[in-house]
Copies of this chain bind each other. A is one copy, B any other.
């Protein structure tokens, strides 16, 4: 399976690299369309999946049913706002202690763990004088 460069894929990578939040496929689509008005959603999905498969980006599944994508593939934790759904990086050292602990007495191979934190982001706290009914599908 040999890769051939494409301007669309380059543009998708470039856009992702420019953002510190973690855009969804649709956000990527809307933005890349400004440089490539004819690009299709399918192409965006195909490239995001491909880039994730070869390890150039990370696919984030944070429980809202929508995939988010992160240009930063180094291990770090994420925070998900239950009100607005925004995803951001957390400044918290990554520890493998829990994974190690989980291996104890488990008959099977534990390769890793997924952890994300949820709550209310700063912006939503400040807005919250007015009550927002919009809840995301995160466990309470």
Contacts and interface: CB of A to CB of B under 8 A. Distances in A.
B117 A113 contact: yes
Interface in A75-134: 77, 79, 81-82, 90-92, 95, 98-99, 101-102, 104-122, 124-125
Nearest to A63: B61
A33 interface: no
B125 A1 contact: no
Contact of A119 (B79, B90, B105, B110): B110
Chain A interface size range: 35 or more
A139 interface: yes
Given A52-B137, A139-B58, A102 B77 contact: yes
A120 B109 contact: yes
